[in-house]
Structure 1
């Protein structure tokens, strides 16, 4: 329903812009240019004033009040619960036959995350450190803990939010500042105007957020001790915290979270065997594996089934492929546990792709492994474990040639669209060719400008056409762009007047209409409505939808006005001045630059696909990889499901789905 409302409002906005353009054309045609200028000024006054009266309450409180903060916390709790319920379903963490992993905390053995949640709530100082070996299930326990805390959350309880800690840089950035910034990025609904201007920071300052920080060991080693120091300095006695870290990395730190309970995993070999017996079809091969696990605790296969990750790998690679797991007991091929683990990781991509549901697109295993290996190396190069699609441009060196190429492509598309609209409006005055050429040149100039901005980071944005909550912002938002465009139009028109070309009124009308357009396209960008959670696919679609609104509005109105102006003047003196005015406006718009993150991402994907680094439908591929368990989604970003999988793919070259060994997987 929310998506349908957005589409209807988008269509209504486009129709209004078209109606304004044709209305101005009628005034120009019937009443002349001077009257058109007066009508345009009156129109701008009406557009600017009506929203102030139509919106009875203010667009948003000047500060985030306690009531607003409580509402924001409830919205955040709903979004986080929905997010991790979906992720638990995708990752099958509530499998009908879950692996029995026991967690020991202060000599107390816990067999379920729910028990840990109850114990956590009862702590006098609610602080928890989850440790364990690689693949021990630290993140899984954190996810289940967040879910269980949210299911039984009281209104006054803080909202547990699981966030990767890898992009924090202590002590350069204070922990509360990083937490507020990350909340705003992962949950854009908190930036909605109804919550006030600083809801994420207020939630953090008021203790309404329970940080569940995943992966202290993924911070660069020099930053781990400063991170613990900063956390201890920030926490008060009442503040709650959950932190996960590999056991060895946490043990060597000469610091710890003050007063925290430390939990560690305990996976018994018998539990692993029982789980595999329940979840596999059995057969001679599995019986040989079970026999070796029971008979020899030092066997390579026993050493390769010590953590939940090991069991998951064994189950995925052999459980549904029809391959014979008995080959793992061949000590001539697998003399050590590391050899078995490497073998399982080598074949994980092919096994998961082969077991994907029918009806989903089939990806070639060799191509998929090559793409994922490149992606893992790219993330290592950029120093992060998170793939944010709007930062993919960091994979390219944006030199003048690439910037020019992207600008030319964007400019040709924009120029063709604006030329077509300009031809229609120019035809009204008997000069379709002049209107087409004027629109094409103007579109090419704007496209080149955005092409040269393609190397800059542009955060994703969304379309928000909720008039009842944001209508009051439109009138105030029109003031600055209209003033900028009018000033530019008058200056350019006066410059032409000095040259003996009297087009001052024409430039005033053009500048006024384009100023109104500029204000509207900035207004439509807003945070995600609070009914929606953000995932990587949704963030990309929302940004592309916003780009379509912006480009459509610009093409329709600017193309009409350029065609009218060119048809009236009868020459192209208008074009370079208009392009210059557009570029000046883009440079002035530093607070909210419409850099079209989604379009830039699309251009970068095309370049990388031509180099065989990624598939052309990269987001579709990543979404499928998430659904089959290779990746996990954390807000609008992707991560590899396990750090071990990430590291293995980063080290590996493209691995085919077939083993070159004498006894290959099918």
Structure 2
């Protein structure tokens, strides 16, 4: 039976109460022995007044916290969350569709119809509206397809096809079409890679949906920690699961089974290659309930010619392309080979042809050379090999922008050598290929925070880890020596004159360097787990979040202050134990305890509250792209140790100033602040993805495998159209492109 977790204030109050009671009894016993009954009675009255403050503070804090942030969101909050999620999803996929040129100049003319293969879909009476026997439409008229989808009994659809036939593109088009005409009560379509669903960890769909919403759309956390769970559990999300074929064979069967068990009346869109889906339903001995399955028709040569002609905006270019367009529109003899017609029969081939020849303004005459491209495979390989230099040439930084104008989303930020892009992307494709074996499909999702885990171990894991430990230790030692030498060198100069600068600086620097290295080594087990930790989040915008900042900081400060009252009472008791009757020992103990209670502990609590506030994003956040995910985790890693180190360093410096010179107390405060900053930054928390990324990228850049500024390069590859973004992860634009790069020779 699960044990209910106690609220923080119960645990904190219990600890503080026990410590306060113990310290009070010790103090009263000492006073009774040394000062008699009269003085003890007066002290007891003062202590009674002091001990009444914590319960009052606890009551005020409890009242201030209401309504409880952990309570389930209300219906109005769920509606607000759905609206916010719809806005984020729409912005995300409108930007992505612009980068993929899905509507420039028009969608590709792919026609869809019900599959004729038996055993791939539910009975038509369950899957189709009453009185209908088919489901057909075109990607050019997505509004009609959206209406047909809404008319389905349970709004479920399976999109099947071979590689490069436009399955994902149709899913994105349906998502945008559903969002454009979404009613206030309709679920929000969210596209997620099916390969990310581990049915062992998340046996039902809705628990996995909640976890992915929290990862991919952190702005929902602004409404509370349970918002994503409630939104997914109440049917507020229409999952668009892309790429069931990318799931390992036995797991595909478990996905089909889990979907049928957990969907209930919920809608769904699922894409998959036809062969892999047929294997999954055969192994499961079941199909996806109430879901029709559609497949694409081959595009005709006339359809491809019409689409290419729309892409040729100038009359001169249309004239140069006339032989190719006429070739496509003229039916070939039944026995003749037609590699160009075969290539343009699929959206992938048509995109490659457009990217390499149309957008790059190349002469199309070689396309009609049967000697150069005798078969479809030869032409496809030629186009796949030429797509990187073609996109680099067509999308140059700053082209078409004026001075001071914002850079278009579809243009890279800097120039790149196509050969280097090919080499770096080939390495990434091989990295994704490492997790697959002969039976498992290639991994398609690249998460930047997994880079260290997938690249650093290699063949000599011990040597790599020792090198990493040596570099990190050297950095900590150098930083500690610099901080210690500066702080204690200044103290030495004030205490002993010029001669004390060297002595104080060297000794202080060495002590702090050794202490920092020792502290770092004590936390080595946690540091070794960096590569397994997910990215965190830090949002430092104040607009609309000032009240939240005050609430987080105030709550944590009061909590720490409440707990420190018990510590203060205990310190007072021990200080009084050594009192010689003059009251000086007691006065000193009281002063130390009060300073600890009013400065040290609350300062640390305030720092903790600041970090908690930073990790809670604004509801009106931006789309969580891979670049945004990287920057958010970097902010968290940079600021995480600063508040705690500054707060504890300042508190200990103030306490030290009671009996030490101000300069020495300041030096001790700086030294302790550095040590606690080190601890908070490298060991505290569960989000060190950026730190492990830094280690991996510097290691791989030194070996020449990847650029040091990897995320900037990936962002440019995304802008070029070579990659696509799905939430905080990247994928190659097409699986065929990834496969070609992964199989290319190592350069």
The question of 1:294 aligning with 2:330 is answered yes
The question of 1:379 aligning with 2:432 is answered yes
Q: CA, structure 1 residues 138+274, in 2 after alignment: closer, same or farther (shift >3 Å)? A: same
The question of 1:143 aligning with 2:172 is answered yes
List aligned pairs for 1:182-261, cutoff 5 A.
182-192=212-222, 195-236=223-264, 238-252=265-279, 253-254=281-282, 255-261=286-292
Q: CA, structure 1 residues 455+107, in 2 after alignment: closer, same or farther (shift >3 Å)? A: closer
The question of 1:614 aligning with 2:706 is answered yes
1:365 aligned residue (412, 418, 431) = 418
| Partner SS state of residue 131, structure 1 | strand
Distance of 1:403 and 1:455 partners within structure 2 = 12
| Partner SS state of residue 213, structure 1 | strand
**Uncovered stretches (5+) of structure 1, i.e. residues with no partner:** 1-40, 496-501, 656-666
Please list the CA deviations of residues 195-235 of structure 1 after superposition, one character each: whole Å capped at 9, or x if unmatched.
Answer: 33311111121111111111111111121122111111112
Distance of 1:414 and 1:123 partners within structure 2 = 64
Please list the CA deviations of residues 63-83 of structure 1 after superposition, one character each: whole Å capped at 9, or x if unmatched.
Answer: 222222222111111111111
TM-score w.r.t. structure 2 length? 0.71
Deviation at 1:240, TM superposition (A): 0.6
List aligned pairs for 1:121-520, cutoff 5 A.
121-174=150-203, 175-192=205-222, 195-236=223-264, 238-252=265-279, 253-254=281-282, 255-266=286-297, 267-280=299-312, 281-282=317-318, 287-288=323-324, 290-291=326-327, 294-296=330-332, 298-359=337-398, 360-382=413-435, 384-394=443-453, 395-397=455-457, 399=462, 400-408=465-473, 410-412=475-477, 414-415=479-480, 418-419=483-484, 422-423=487-488, 426=491, 430=495, 433=505, 440-441=513-514, 443-444=516-517, 449=523, 451-464=527-540, 466-478=545-557, 512=601, 515-516=604-605, 519-520=608-609
Higher relative contact order (CA 8 A, sep 6+): 1
Deviation at 1:518, TM superposition (A): 5.1
| Partner SS state of residue 112, structure 2 | strand
2:109 matched residue in structure 1 = 100
Please list the CA deviations of residues 81-118 of structure 1 after superposition, one character each: whole Å capped at 9, or x if unmatched.
Answer: 11111111222211124322222242633342211111
Deviation at 1:170, TM superposition (A): 2.5
- Checking the alignment, whether the CA contact within 8 Å between 2:137 and 2:144 is kept in structure 1 is no
| Partner SS state of residue 614, structure 1 | coil
Larger displacement relative to structure 2 (464-473 or 570-579): 570-579
Say how many residue pairs are matched. Answer: 602
Distance of 1:206 and 1:517 partners within structure 2 = 36
Distance of 2:78 and 2:706 partners within structure 1 = 42
| Partner SS state of residue 531, structure 2 | coil
Distance of 2:200 and 2:245 partners within structure 1 = 16
Larger displacement relative to structure 2 (427-436 or 392-401): 427-436
Distance of 2:291 and 2:676 partners within structure 1 = 60
Q: CA, structure 1 residues 525+409, in 2 after alignment: closer, same or farther (shift >3 Å)? A: farther
The question of 1:68 aligning with 2:77 is answered yes
For the pair shown, which has the larger CA radius of gyration, 1 or 2? 2
**Uncovered stretches (5+) of structure 2, i.e. residues with no partner:** 1-49, 115-133, 399-412, 437-442, 575-584
Deviation at 1:368, TM superposition (A): 0.6
RMSD of the TM alignment (CA)?
A: 4.2
- Checking the alignment, whether the CA contact within 8 Å between 1:52 and 1:472 is kept in structure 2 is no
Distance of 1:355 and 1:227 partners within structure 2 = 41
